[in-house]
Amino acid sequence: MTSPLILGIGGTTRPGSSSELILRAALGEIEALGGTTECLAGPDMILPLYAPDSPHRDTKALRLIELIRRADGIIIASPGYHGSISGMIKNALDYVEDTARDSRPYFDGRVVGCIACAYGWQATGSTLVALRSIVHALRGWPTPLGIVANTTMQLVEKGVVTDTALSASLKILASQVMHFVQRRGQH
């Protein structure tokens, strides 16, 4: 039996952003549970504006689409920009439309963990709601636990999650993703 592939999508244009580090920590928890991971973050996510009427895709967009097609589960980590997900994350998720005519379109039947990071609490909740709404629109199954991270607090130090509550939440999120994937027999 092969291990399930969990795709991480997130971060900002700044490599090593809080949302990228927290996403990578979540993927580390997936690996600890036996999953295989791929991470598209930071510079990987700087894509041309999605144009549904144009068949041309650059290499980064083609890689994103290919990994989405292969993924058994997905984890998305978005920064909260002005009360919602970032334009970079939204643009990447718009590329999922390229799977509309696939035998398994969009996120159909796949579990998706959602993580919202913001500088303060105000945008964390609305960003998480936006992520979960998009996952539903793409026919995915958001995990019961969605994570919000207030980045005004010291959460990550030298690439390691140091906040015990966040660390525990990432373990729960990873276990929910892996449990759902294994129950669905998608790998």
Q: Band the pLDDT of 15: cuts 50, 70, 90.
A: confident
* Residue 133: pLDDT over 60: yes
| Alpha carbons 56 and 115: distance in angstroms, whole number | 30
Structural domain boundaries, residue 21: 5-184
Percent of the chain with pLDDT over 70: 98
Domains in the chain, number: 1
Question: Given the DSSP bridges, would you call strands 84-85 and 73-81 parallel, antiparallel or unpaired?
Answer: antiparallel
DSSP for 25-55 reads HHHHHHHHTT-EEEEEEGGGG--PPP-TT--
Q: How many CB atoms lie within 10 A of CB 185?
A: 9
Residues 104-110: what's their mean pLDDT? Answer: 97
Return the pLDDT at 187. 47
Return the pLDDT at 149. 97
Segment among 47-56, 66-75, 90-99, 149-158 with least mean pLDDT: 149-158
Residues 62-66: what's their mean pLDDT? Answer: 98
Percent of the chain with pLDDT over 90: 90
Q: Band the pLDDT of 1: cuts 50, 70, 90.
A: low
Is residue 68 within 8 Å of 96, Cβ to Cβ?
yes
CATH classification at residue 156: 3.40.50.360
Q: Band the pLDDT of 98: cuts 50, 70, 90.
A: very high
